[in-house]
Structure formats: structure tokens, C-alpha cells
């Protein structure tokens, strides 16, 4: 006869939780420094870093200190950067976004010279930092974003960024048809091998506040709810992501991350493309603020948050914690 099992058997899972080494041995999800993408801000007209008040540990950089920051990230094991530019001059159509001597193009050339193929340089493609009205494209006479006119500006910007050394182009403006337009422009200009990371599901979130201070791109009137996604809509996010995939996106992004882990999971499961999540400025600032007040263990919460994003399906994570996390991984 088989032995009678004890009335309260020891959980097999609990046996494997007994020591740190055992827990690590059977851990299902791991985050590595190579999974992280560090967002950086480069600003024209400054010669020293300018700290970003709402994002402790981050600054707007001139090109030279941006290079130093990138070198420190590389030394910590972070091999991917996402660049945002802040020009001195802004106008109605954001012409500095595609100027060969625009601030992001300057930064891309410098970083490409420093790192070559050892660093993935992701160029954010949007116009909100470059327009004097703060919206993500050209405007009609009644103040609405003109979708098709904006696509032409995105084409120009994508080619300028690729020519300057961008490894990946990341359109974030949420214009209809933006991936197809950018893919066509890149291919025509001889950049068929340049991938597109589409902000496929970018929600009209309240968690972008600190970023708007960092990028100096808040709308001067109205908001972006007409072209960014309604936070209540998950099925719509799947449709938007599927359209971007069909138009030629190589990677798909969900933004923000934590409040949209269900969307991240569904996109990864349904479409199967490499999938990113953007752990945004507000999510970063909340952890930092609570840690500064002693309410939480900031390092443990940081790693728990990043692990949850990876577990939900992210292949890569854009996060302002990139340097801090890499040093602990």
C-alpha cells in the first residue's frame, strides 16, 4: 500500500523558497541590465546639466555631459538609450526636429561616434518638444492636429534622425498611418535596415507630468486626448497595435507601464512581436517621493516594479531607473 500522505503536506513551493539561493534557482522572471532602455534629455543652449525637479537624479544635458551620462550607463551594463531633444527655437511646425543640425541630430552623431554598434540609439520621433504650441504635429486653422500634414513632417524627421546615426526610430505622436509613412521614407532614403519601435498603445495618461517639465513640451492649449488613447480602452489598444504591426513596426510599445500591464500582456500574446513598456516619469517620481519620505524601500520597490513589467510580457523596459537598477542587477 502506498504511504498515507500527511494531513498538511509541506508545499513544494515553500520548500524552494527556504533560502535566497533556492529562490534564485527557480525564479521564473529575471530582469537584466540589457533589458533596460534609459531615456535621456539633451537641450540646446546650455553648457551644464540642469536638474529636473520632479525627476530626482535626472537632468537636461548639453551634448558633452550627455556623452558622459551615456558612458556611465554603458559601464553599468545599459546598452540602449532613448533620446529627447529640447531646442532653443520653436515654431508652428517644429522645424528643428528635422534640421540636420538640430539638437537630437547633434547628440546622435556624438553618441554614434562614441559607441558605434555597441549602443542602441533610439530616437523619439514627435514634434511636441519642437512646436511653439506643444502639440505633436502641424495644426489646422481651428487648432486641431492635421494628421496627414503631420505625417510629412514625421517622414522628414525620421530620415534626418537615421542620417545622424539613430539605430531605431520610435514614433510617439499617435498619428494615424505614422508607421507606414516613416517606413516608406526610411526605405526610400536607403535606411531599409533601420527598425521602427512604435508607440503602439500610448494612453492619454495623467502620469506624464514630470516628463513635461523635462522635455518642455506641454500643450499651450487643450490636451492630447484627441490623438492619444482613452485609458479605459483595452480592445482599442489591441487594434492600434495590430495596425502598427501591419504597417511595418518591428517593435511595439505600451505607455505607461504599470496601469496597463493587462494591455502589455495582451499585445505580447496576440501579436508576438518584441514588446516594450515605458515606465513613465510619474511612475518613477512616485517611487522616488515615497522612498525619500521613508515610506518604502526604494530599491526593493524599483526592482519589484521592473520585474512585474517583465513578467507581464515586456522584452525591453524604458525606465528612468535604468542606471540605478543596472547597478543592482
Active-site positions read: 202, 255
Q: What 8-state DSSP symbol labels residue 139?
A: B
Cell of 179: 508607421
φ, ψ at 235 (rounded to 5°): -60, -40
CA 95 to chain centre: 23
Cell of 329: 542587477
Cell of 57: 537624479
* DSSP annotation string for 87-106: -S--BSS-GGGT-TTSHHHH
Cell of 6: 500527511
Rg of the Cα atoms in the chain: 21
61 in Cβ contact with 103 (< 8 Å) = no
Amino acid at each position: 500500500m502506498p504511504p498515507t500522505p500527511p494531513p498538511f503536506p509541506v508545499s513544494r513551493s515553500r520548500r524552494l523558497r527556504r533560502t535566497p539561493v533556492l529562490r534564485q534557482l527557480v525564479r521564473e522572471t529575471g530582469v537584466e541590465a540589457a533589458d533596460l532602455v534609459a531615456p535621456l534629455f539633451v537641450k540646446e543652449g546650455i553648457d551644464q546639466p540642469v536638474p529636473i525637479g520632479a525627476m530626482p537624479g535626472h537632468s537636461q544635458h548639453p551634448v558633452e555631459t550627455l556623452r558622459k551620462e551615456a558612458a556611465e550607463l554603458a559601464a553599468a551594463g545599459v546598452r540602449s538609450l532613448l533620446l529627447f531633444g529640447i531646442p532653443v527655437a520653436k515654431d508652428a511646425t517644429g522645424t528643428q526636429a528635422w534640421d540636420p543640425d538640430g539638437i537630437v541630430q547633434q547628440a546622435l552623431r556624438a553618441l554614434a561616434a562614441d559607441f558605434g554598434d555597441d549602443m542602441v540609439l533610439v530616437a523619439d520621433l514627435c514634434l511636441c518638444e519642437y512646436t511653439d504650441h506643444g502639440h505633436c504635429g502641424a495644426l489646422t486653422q481651428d487648432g486641431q492636429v492635421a494628421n496627414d500634414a503631420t505625417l510629412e513632417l514625421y517622414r522628414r524627421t525620421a530620415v534626418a534622425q537615421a542620417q545622424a546615426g539613430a539605430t531605431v526610430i520610435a514614433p510617439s505622436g499617435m498619428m494615424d498611418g505614422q508607421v507606414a509613412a516613416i517606413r516608406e521614407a526610411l526605405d526610400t532614403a536607403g535606411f531599409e535596415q533601420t527598425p521602427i519601435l512604435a508607440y503602439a498603445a500610448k494612453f492619454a495618461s495623467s502620469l506624464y507630468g514630470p516628463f513635461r517639465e523635462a522635455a518642455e513640451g506641454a500643450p499651450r492649449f487643450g490636451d492630447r486626448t484627441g490623438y492619444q488613447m482613452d485609458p479605459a480602452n483595452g480592445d482599442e489598444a489591441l487594434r492600434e497595435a495590430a495596425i502598427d504591426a501591419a504597417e511595418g513596426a518591428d517593435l511595439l510599445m505600451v505607455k505607461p507601464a504599470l496601469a496597463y500591464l493587462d494591455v502589455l500582456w495582451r499585445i505580447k500574446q496576440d501579436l508576438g512581436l518584441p514588446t516594450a513598456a515605458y515606465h513613465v516619469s510619474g511612475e518613477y517620481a512616485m517611487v522616488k517621493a515615497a522612498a525619500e519620505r521613508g515610506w518604502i524601500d526604494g530599491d526593493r520597490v524599483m526592482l519589484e516594479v521592473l520585474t512585474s513589467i517583465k513578467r507581464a510580457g515586456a522584452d525591453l523596459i524604458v525606465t528612468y531607473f535604468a542606471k540605478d537598477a543596472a547597478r543592482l542587477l
